Structure 1
Amino acid sequence: MGSSQHTRWLKWTALVAVGAAVAATSAQAGGPPADPGWLALPHCTVPSIEGTQLASAKQKLHGSLCGVMAPMRRRSSAARNTVLVAVPKAGTVLAPGTKVLLVVSK
């Protein structure tokens, strides 16, 4: 085995050993680390607002501690200012104040 091949083999062996040690430590720890903490605080859970009027949707979002982005307007057969889509979808849990995108009928 040449000198450069031997060096690469040693580096590879060391890398595998370190990876195995990290994996073993993680397995003994019992899973991923604890939640960073914002879920224990009041949080934004996106309410079901599709099909509601924009003003009502904004009130529901603010009441759920969510923010609201400037609405995007799309042509639709729905009545004017009806929420067509909310992103992220209803039921999603977010950090407090996270803004929700609303697509609203023109």
Structure 2
Amino acid sequence: MSFDVPDINNINIKVGRYYLNGDTNSYYFEITKGNHIQLHCDDLYGLFEKWNPENEAAINEDVAFWSVPREYKVVVTEMGKVILAVQWQYDDNSNLTGLM
């Protein structure tokens, strides 16, 4: 099996708003210049409460994390999938070991 893996240098992420499933009445991610991304929602607390019911600490941590622009890194997997990561980890050999 072979994959057409894009060259990371040819990937340009357009500045703008990206809505979940194109629903402009929903929350959205905004991509800004300088490789930054921010989640926008009328009620971030309510959004994260759905994902972390009754976990006040996790809800508040997510709200604080996404309330400000985050730097992102473009990562291309071995199968050619392009990922925008806002957190990443490397092992002692500089191999990428984790993404969020």
TM-score normalised by L of structure 2: 0.22
Structure with greater strand percent: 2
Q: Which has the higher contact order (CA 8 A, sep 6+)?
A: 1
Q: Which has the larger radius of gyration?
A: 1
Structure with greater helix percent: 1
TM-score normalised by L of structure 1: 0.21
